[in-house]
């Protein structure tokens, strides 16, 4: 596997909206440093729902974007979904919480699936896109930065699967906002899930 594209964005206003968003990402040339908060220079406007240490880097697999290109009958260019990285040869559905992606010195650890929102739907110009994206069950992937480094298109990527119990990206988007049974809750909590989800699951456990 390798990095197909590295994408960052600046704060831009959505058509018909009063607020700015960092969802408009564009591939860039050259190397970009990555620290605990993500790609240096990348705009994150809504800090309540985006960014932070457990959503520092958002990545997509090229095979998943190829699927969306066929589904939407138009080429989905790198950055279209607001992703920071596109990994060549990766299919999102096989990725689990705790998987690591290693790019030279950089180590990323998967924490959660991308949950679609109204900003994403507006970006895609489709009010029904949240439902469509959820039904497709191919969500993008959020990662925390275990070790910082620098990345550039063309760099080799090692995908290291999580050795513990599996929580897949399709499962995460399917169970979002739902109360899990004790067995599934324990399985989720045994993985290095996003700290906000961990808090929710611990609250469910009482």
Got the DSSP string for 61-130?
A: EHHHHHHHHHHHTS---TTTTS-SEEEET--GGG-BTT-EEEETTEEEEEEEE----HHHHHHHT-TTHH
**What is the separation of C-alpha 29 from the centre of its chain, rounded to a whole number of angstroms?**
21
Q: Is residue 140 a contact partner of residue 113, using CB atoms and an 8 Å limit?
A: yes
- Residues 116-170: tens digit of each pLDDT: 988 899 889 899 999 999 999 999 999 999 999 999 999 999 999 999 999 999 9
Question: Can you give the residue ranges of every domain in the chain?
Answer: 2-174
- CATH fold of 2-174, please? M1 Pyruvate Kinase; Domain 3 (2.40.33)
Strand, coil or helix: 189: helix
Pairwise CA distance, residues 71 & 195, whole Å: 33
Nearest C-alpha neighbor of 100 from the set 20, 62, 157, 171:
157
Q: Is residue 167 a contact partner of residue 193, using CB atoms and an 8 Å limit?
A: yes
Looking at residue 134, its pLDDT comes to: 96
Mean of the per-residue pLDDT values of the chain: 92
- Confidence class of residue 15 from pLDDT cuts 50, 70 and 90? confident
Strand, coil or helix: 48: coil
The reported pTM is 0.93
- Residues 42-67: tens digit of each pLDDT: 877 566 666 778 999 999 999 999 99
User: Between β-strands 32-35 and 38-39, what pairing exists: parallel, antiparallel or unpaired?
Assistant: antiparallel
Pairwise CA distance, residues 65 & 7, whole Å: 14
User: Between β-strands 12-13 and 2-8, what pairing exists: parallel, antiparallel or unpaired?
Assistant: unpaired
């Amino acid at each position: 596997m390798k990095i197909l594209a590295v994408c960052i964005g600046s704060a831009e206003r959505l058509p018909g909206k009063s607020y700015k968003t960092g969802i408009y990402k564009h591939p860039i040339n050259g190397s970009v440093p990555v620290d605990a908060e993500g790609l240096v220079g990348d705009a994150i406007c809504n800090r309540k729902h985006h960014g932070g240490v457990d959503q520092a880097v958002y990545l997509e697999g090229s095979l998943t974007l190829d699927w969306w290109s066929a589904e939407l009958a138009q080429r989905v260019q790198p950055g279209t979904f607001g992703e920071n990285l596109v990994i060549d040869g990766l299919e999102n559905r096989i990725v689990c919480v705790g998987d690591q992606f290693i790019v030279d010195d950089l180590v990323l650890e998967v924490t959660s699936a991308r949950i679609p929102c109204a900003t994403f739907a507006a970006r895609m110009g489709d009010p029904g896109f949240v439902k469509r994206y959820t039904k497709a069950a191919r969500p993008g992937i959020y990662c925390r930065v275990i070790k910082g480094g620098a990345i550039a298109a063309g760099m080799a990527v090692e995908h290291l699967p999580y050795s513990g119990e599996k929580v897949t990206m399709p499962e995460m988007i399917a169970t979002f906002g739902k109360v899990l049974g004790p067995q599934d809750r324990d399985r989720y909590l045994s993985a290095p899930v996003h700290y906000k989800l961990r808090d929710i699951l611990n609250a469910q456990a009482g």
